[in-house]
């Protein structure tokens, strides 16, 4: 979701927090306007495509959180909050969509493999860049999680209490205060100007990797087009029937 403007007193109005917010704003907007995301928020999506998104996110978070676990980088350790971890909840959602044997059946897609490969690459070579992955994924999910989860439950007719555990940050009581604290820690990181610029660049790359995921989904152009055409056709049929009833006085 789009990050709202901040007051001058907010940690987001200075330092690396401001650099990341401003430096990735265009990429953020592009990601929000992909066909999958816009269709999702219009209620034009399928359970199949949404489950594919959950699958991709599971493998991405598995790669991220595995990297966080073993990292000795001080920047990563400072921002790695247990409350943000998503792998356990994603595993619950995977079982709901794919069954109890999902671990042996579900494999990462090509775009997902590329995404995870990037995480593994920087974890070994430039671990401070993992901060950009924390920022883009964790804060994005925390900001927009309730809306995404609510839309999925209503539009996809999911079983009560299932399928959107990923979007439930039950250990975070005050989202606004938590995010402000996270940004304060972000601004306090001991990074050079060059490293900060690299983190912003990585943030833009992370958005690009997420856009690749969205564009790869089964709920892309073809499925969305079919769904939109069905809505248009249903509307035309309804209007035609209404006109016929009016003409025949029924």
Digit-coded pLDDT (tens) for 4-40: 444 457 999 999 999 999 999 999 999 999 988 888 8
4 occurs within a structural domain: no
Looking at residue 231, its pLDDT comes to 44
27 occurs within a structural domain: yes
2 occurs within a structural domain: no
Tokens of 57: 């996110």
Residue 115, annotated as binding a ligand: no
Say yes or no: 122 and 230 in one domain. no
Say yes or no: 110 and 81 in one domain. yes
232 occurs within a structural domain: yes
Say yes or no: 212 and 240 in one domain. no
Q: What is the 3-state secondary structure (H, E, C) of the chain?
A: CCCCCCCCCCHHHCHHHHHHHHHCHHHHHHHHCCHHHHHHHCCCCCHHHHHHHHHHHHHHHHHHHHHHHHCCCHHHHHHCCHHHCCHHHHHHHHHHHHCCCHHHHCCCCHHHHHHHHHHHHHHHHCHHHHHHHHHHHHHHHHHHHHHHHHHHHHHHCCCCCCCCHHHCCCCCCCHHHHHHHHHHHHHCCCCCHHHHHHHHHHHHHHHHHHHHHHHHCCCCHHHHHHHHHHHHHHHHHHHHHHHHHHHHCC
Say yes or no: 111 and 50 in one domain. yes
Say yes or no: 174 and 52 in one domain. yes
6 occurs within a structural domain: no
Say yes or no: 184 and 249 in one domain. no
Say yes or no: 37 and 53 in one domain. yes
Say yes or no: 123 and 88 in one domain. yes
Say yes or no: 209 and 227 in one domain. no
Give, for all 250 residues of the chain, the pLDDT tens digit: 444 444 457 999 999 999 999 999 999 999 999 988 888 878 778 899 999 999 999 999 999 999 999 999 999 999 999 999 999 999 999 999 999 999 999 999 999 999 999 999 999 999 999 999 999 999 999 988 778 888 899 899 999 999 999 999 999 999 999 999 999 999 999 999 999 999 999 999 999 999 999 999 854 444 444 444 444 444 444 444 554 455 445 4
58 occurs within a structural domain: yes
Q: Rounded distance, CA 64 to CA 120, Å?
A: 8
Number of domains in the chain: 2
Say yes or no: 56 and 81 in one domain. yes
- Which CATH number is 204's domain given? 1.20.910.10
Angle at 138 between CA 136 and CA 142, to 5 degrees: 115
101 occurs within a structural domain: yes
22 occurs within a structural domain: yes
Say yes or no: 162 and 231 in one domain. no
Residue 28, annotated as binding a ligand: yes
N- to C-terminal Cα separation, the chain:
48
Q: Domain span at residue 224?
A: 220-250
Say yes or no: 240 and 164 in one domain. no
């Amino acid at each position: 979701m789009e990050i709202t403007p901040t007051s001058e007193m907010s940690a987001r109005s200075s330092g690396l927090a401001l650099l990341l917010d401003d430096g990735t704003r265009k990429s953020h907007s592009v990601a929000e306007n992909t066909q999958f995301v816009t269709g999702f928020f219009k209620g034009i999506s399928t359970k199949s495509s949404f489950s594919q998104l959950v699958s991709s996110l599971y493998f991405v978070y598995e790669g991220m959180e595995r990297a966080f676990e073993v990292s000795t980088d001080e920047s990563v350790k400072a921002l790695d909050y247990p409350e943000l971890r998503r792998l356990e909840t994603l595993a619950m959602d995977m079982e709901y969509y794919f069954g109890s044997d999902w671990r042996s059946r579900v494999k990462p897609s090509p775009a997902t493999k590329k995404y995870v490969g990037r995480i593994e690459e920087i974890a070994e070579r430039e671990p401070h860049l993992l901060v950009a992955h924390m920022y883009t994924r964790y804060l994005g999910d925390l900001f927009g999680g309730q809306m995404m989860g609510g839309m999925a439950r209503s539009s996809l007719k999911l079983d009560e209490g299932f399928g959107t555990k990923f979007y439930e940050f039950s250990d975070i009581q005050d989202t606004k205060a938590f995010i402000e604290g996270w940004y304060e820690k972000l601004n306090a990181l001991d990074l050079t100007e060059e490293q900060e610029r690299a983190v912003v660049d990585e943030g833009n790359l992370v958005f690009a990797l997420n856009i690749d995921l969205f564009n790869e989904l089964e709920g892309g152009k073809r499925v969305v087009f079919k769904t939109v055409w069905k809505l248009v056709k249903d509307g035309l049929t309804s209007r035609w029937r209404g006109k016929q009833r009016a003409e025949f006085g029924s």
